[in-house]
Amino acid sequence: MSNPYSSQQRPRGTRFARVVYLVAGIVGLLEIVPLYFYESTLNQTQPPPITHPEFYYGFLGVTLAWQVAFLLIARDPLRFRPLMPVTWIEKLLYPCAVGILHSAGRTRSEMVPAALLDLVWLGLFVIAWWRTRGQN
């Protein structure tokens, strides 16, 4: 299905959503893909070593898939608007987990800023959803 708007006729909220989801997807890919090659370094610099690599690589795979979903939404935010609230869950779960683990003393303080960054993305995703309402 083609988008009925040319790039210059596209409603303003749609442009905002496109940019937000495009940047989120690109940044996410830049953050996640290198982690596929980081396990041995991580094992040395942040002991204890990973004992269940299937969880590590499983996390990376699921996270990578979400970055692709963000790029897909960026291509046509109006068409994929119903998926946007689901992306909020993706951006909320990590900060919740880090917050709970940090408050229990089970993760380092260095993890908190990355978790807070996901809350910024969450806010931008909600704004993108709000700004695309009523545009069909």
pLDDT in tens, 57-103: 999 999 999 999 999 999 999 999 999 999 999 999 999 999 999 99
Q: How confident is the model at residue 13 (pLDDT cuts 50, 70, 90)?
A: confident
**What pLDDT, on a 0 to 100 scale, did the predictor assign at position 10?**
62
Q: What are 91-117's pLDDT values in tens digits? A: 999 999 999 999 999 999 999 998 999
- The tokens describing 53, both together, are 């690599």
- Give me the mean pLDDT over the 7-18 stretch: 78
CA–CA dist 117, 128 (Å, integer): 17
Portion of the chain with pLDDT greater than 90, in percent: 85
**What pLDDT, on a 0 to 100 scale, did the predictor assign at position 89?**
97
Contact of 132 with 77, CB cutoff 8 Å = yes
Q: pTM (2 decimals)? A: 0.87
Within 8 A by CB and 6+ apart from 71, the residues are 21, 22, 25, 26
- The tokens describing 26, both together, are 């690109």
